[in-house]
Amino acid sequence: MTAGTPATDSASLAAGAHPADVPADAPAAVTAAPPGSGSANHLPRPPHGTLLQRARRFRAPAALAVLVLVAGLALALAANGRTGSLDPRAASPEGSKAVATLLGREGVDVRLVRTLDEAVASAAAGDTLLVAQPDLLVEEQARRMAEVPASLVLVEPGQGFLDVVAPSVLEAGQSFDSARDPACPFPTAERAGRAELPGRVYSVRPDSATAATGCYPDASAAGDAVALVRLEPASGARSTTVLGSSRPLTNAGLDEEGNAALALGLLGEHERLVWYLPSPDDVPPGARRALRDLLPDGVEFGAVQIALAVVLAALWRGRRLGPVVPEPLPVVVPAAETVEGRARLYRRAHAADRAADALRTAAAGRLASGLGLPRRAAPPDVVEAVARATGRSPAEVGALLYGPPPGDDAALVRLASDLDRLETEARRT
Amino acid sequence: MALTGRTPLLALLGALVVGLAAPSWAGVLLVTLAVLVLAAVDAALAGAVRPLELHRAGDTSVRLGEQARVDVLVTNPGRRRVHGLLRDAWPPSAGAASQRHRLQVAAGDRARVSTLLRPTRRGDRHAYRVTVRSVGPLGLAARQRSRQLPWTLRALPPFASRRHLPAKLAQLREIEGRAAVMVRGQGTEFDSLREYVPGDDVRSIDWRATARRSEVTVRTWRPERDRRVLLVLDTGRTSAGRVGDAPRLDACMDAALLLAALAARGGDRVDLLAYDRRVRARVEGAPAPALLASLVDAMAPLEAELVETDLAGMAATVLARGGRRSLVVLLTGLEATPVEEGLLPVLGRLLHRHTVLVAAVSDPRVAELADARGDAATVYAAASAERARAERARLVELLRRRGVEVVDALPDELAPALADRYLALKAAGRL
């Protein structure tokens, strides 16, 4: 039944009718009563299944959204295995735990730093500073890096970084040609021999002032593209090594060809190695840029325009076709409400005696009229007649019909079923 | 003024223009202004709503459960076509199949819009408002206006017990036919004299007439006709209680209608009085052919009020009518307090002038509760239900002893039970 004013007992029925306003357009009180329900039905009923139908309409988009979510999760989980790239603590294929361990065994003091400040502070003259992912550094950081007194080993640097730190080296593209020979007079490379170096290749500016050695030339590309450039200033200051491939440093690539010797040679040149693995959030405040700065203006103003379109859509949907219709609803009072209310009162008061009295009187009345006695026959007559009909002893029947009231609820329930059994027996005969 | 879905869509397309061609505040302003100006022009070009002439036609009453049709006639005296939507708003209980209609009226033309209604509740249903939305030629914006256009549809009581009528009428004819000769005594009246045929009761031979004529003549008798029946509906709080899905009042009306149909055929005059603390409806002296229609019409808007019925006042109203002895049928809920305090004190005077029959709707839920067993809660409920039944039985006994006829039946069985009791009274000549 639909809402109204349920009254709990007869006393509150005198309270007067309460008309309730129901919007005609609201889905809760709509008009579509099932046909043929008119004779018995007196209230509008909410239609069945509109919510379900509405949910069904969004099934396809919801499925799509779930699919995208699941695919994204799967990709994220799959990509998770590629973490720890060039991290000396990582044992994953891309990690560098192996080479770091080997260096440690060789007596090199390997120290991992994550920020530029730490790197600059800890790399003194006579140390080696490995910059694992130099492209993560912005120009301002690269400039600080250029002033570090330690020898630099740069792994796969891009042109932007090279322009600042090693302006004489030019990036010359990518090479997937793997194993190659050193073909140069750089002793470390010569010792290592053939090495597996897929990745970037570089060339040396011809007008360069510093002495540059290019090793591991790319056989497939003509010209002077090399995978390793060693810069040794004539003044005897720090050297700079540009390594075009991270392969020799990774756990996976360490054992290929002469990769291990090359890596150990390059990194183990000095007693101390500062392993700088730039972390993405270590960016100077001036270089920080919000997502908004990266978006083109068109996106921003387009979004403003979309917001205006949404406002217009709200106006479109918000305008109702005529006002809401009020409906005076009848009051719904079940006729048996007083009976049920009295039952609850009995129960709360544990009035087993009164309840038993009512049940016994009713049962005795039914038994009496069933056995041809007047409904209000005297107890002894009823007891005698019932005892004769059922074959039970008069004392037992008397105790059941006119005995002492039951003490608690359980006794009352037992009494009710005993009375039922007695009536069934009496009816059977 | 109202927008359609095309306006936000246009603004959304404008987002492309802004994003690709003019990414600036000026671009946003320009595009939005263009959209708004277009919408405003469109609304200005839409057919005018205010001068539309609206009229209603259609059904004014319908039996509950059946379908009615109410039309709105739209005349467009303007110079432009009106095209859009019309909503004929009715309250939910009017059971409108669809309130929104497409509207298409050319200039100077007229159109008819029909709303199908299937009321879900007895009583008067009032039309609320008529709203017209006239969409412009571009379909971007619309003019809208609501107007009062009164109409009332009366949902009449369903008279579901109609199906019992043929059987009861057959019983009525049987009583009349049998009574023609065989039954004689109180409650019958002299009809005519006719020739004796073997088998006639010798006691009905009219010796004086036989002496005047040469053949043996008998008197014939027929059951009394042109008695009066007064149906009294109690519209107080006891009638508001719901038995099953419907209030007691509806079951009472159903029984009253069957009795009225039967009594009208039996040649009796039927009047109706609905009372709680004052007279709520009254039908008196309706001619037999129009009786049912006027009863149904009087009952349709009645709702049970949440007040205690003034049975003493009701009895006084019945007595104040004066006139001949009638059968007073009181349709009520039969509850102890109102009966003992209101009815019993005045019952003597009422019985002195009239025959009184109390018809009460009992609740199957009480029997259901009384038979339930299980845990303590259901046994307490059973005890409470037994007490209620005992109370009711005591009341019925009390009324019977005072000489009141009592019919206490479940809602579905009340109408035939009441009709049977009427036939029994008629056969016994106690009307």
Q: Does a structural domain hold residue A60?
A: no
Partner B contacted by A316 (CB < 8 A) = yes
**Domain check: are A347 and A241 in the same one?**
no
Choose the final residue of a domain: A243, A259, A283.
A283
pLDDT tens-digit series, residues B248-293: 999 999 999 999 999 998 888 999 999 999 999 999 988 888 999 9
Residues 6+ apart with CB under 8 A from A362: B370, B386, B389, B390
Residues 148-167 of B with CB under 8 A from A: 158, 160
CA distance B255 to B329: 11
Local structure of B431: helix, strand or coil? coil
Of A16, A31, A409, nearest to B96 by CB-CB distance is A31
Partner B contacted by A219 (CB < 8 A) = no
Choose the final residue of a domain: A265, A283, A301.
A283
| pLDDT for the residue A95 | 87
Structural domains of chain B ordered from first start: 1-156 (2.60.40.10), 189-223 (no CATH), 225-427 (3.40.50.410)
**Domain check: are A108 and A183 in the same one?**
yes
pLDDT tens-digit series, residues B119-156: 998 999 999 999 999 999 999 999 999 999 999 999 99
Q: How far is A57 from chain B (nearest CA, A)?
A: 19
**Domain check: are A115 and A207 in the same one?**
yes
Q: Does a structural domain hold residue A392?
A: yes
| Contact assessment for residue B74 and residue A48, using Cβ atoms and an 8 Å cutoff | no
| pLDDT for the residue A295 | 82
Q: Mean pLDDT across the stretch B27-48?
A: 94
Closest of B353, B283, B285, B273 to residue B310, by C-alpha: B273
Q: Does a structural domain hold residue A21?
A: no
Q: What is the mean pLDDT of each run of 10 residues along chain A (429 residues)?
A: 37 38 38 38 48 78 91 78 76 88 90 88 87 86 86 90 87 79 85 86 80 81 78 78 89 86 88 87 75 82 93 93 88 86 93 92 91 85 90 90 90 92 86
Partner B contacted by A424 (CB < 8 A) = no
| pLDDT for the residue B177 | 64
Of A298, A304, A316, nearest to B4 by CB-CB distance is A316
Complex prediction ipTM: 0.73
Q: Do B158 and A39 touch (CB under 8 A)?
A: yes
Local structure of B139: helix, strand or coil? coil
Residues 6+ apart with CB under 8 A from B336: B391, B395
Q: Confidence band (pLDDT; 50, 70, 90) for B41?
A: very high
pLDDT tens-digit series, residues B328-354: 999 988 888 888 888 888 898 899 999
Q: Does a structural domain hold residue A380?
A: yes
**Domain check: are A275 and A346 in the same one?**
no
| pLDDT for the residue B229 | 93
Q: Does a structural domain hold residue A13?
A: no
Of A15, A306, A322, nearest to B15 by CB-CB distance is A306
**Domain check: are A263 and A360 in the same one?**
no
**Domain check: are A147 and A266 in the same one?**
yes
Q: Mean pLDDT across the stretch B97-105?
A: 92
Partner B contacted by A413 (CB < 8 A) = yes
**Domain check: are A237 and A348 in the same one?**
no
CA distance A310 to B8: 7
Partner A contacted by B91 (CB < 8 A) = yes
Q: Does a structural domain hold residue A65?
A: no
CA distance A178 to A187: 21
Q: Confidence band (pLDDT; 50, 70, 90) for B94?
A: very high
Partner A contacted by B61 (CB < 8 A) = no
**Domain check: are A113 and A250 in the same one?**
yes
- Is A291 exposed, middle or buried, given 0-12, 13-18 or 19+ CB atoms closer than 10 A? exposed
| pLDDT for the residue B392 | 92
**Domain check: are A107 and A214 in the same one?**
yes
Q: Does a structural domain hold residue A9?
A: no
Q: Do A325 and B121 touch (CB under 8 A)?
A: no
Counting the structural domains of chain A, the total is: 2
CA distance A364 to A366: 5
pLDDT tens-digit series, residues B365-397: 999 999 988 888 999 999 999 999 999 999 999
**Domain check: are A240 and A343 in the same one?**
no
**Domain check: are A253 and A379 in the same one?**
no
| pLDDT for the residue B382 | 94
| Contact assessment for residue B108 and residue B77, using Cβ atoms and an 8 Å cutoff | yes
DSSP string, B375-415: SHHHHHHHHHHHHHHHHHHHHHHHHHHTT-EEEEE-HHHHH
**Domain check: are A274 and A160 in the same one?**
yes
Say whether pLDDT at B160 is over 70: yes
Residues 338-397 of A with CB under 8 A from B: 338-340, 342-344, 346-347, 351, 354-356, 358-359, 361-362, 365
Choose the final residue of a domain: A283, A298, A320.
A283
Q: Does a structural domain hold residue A329?
A: no
Domain coverage including residue A125:
97-283
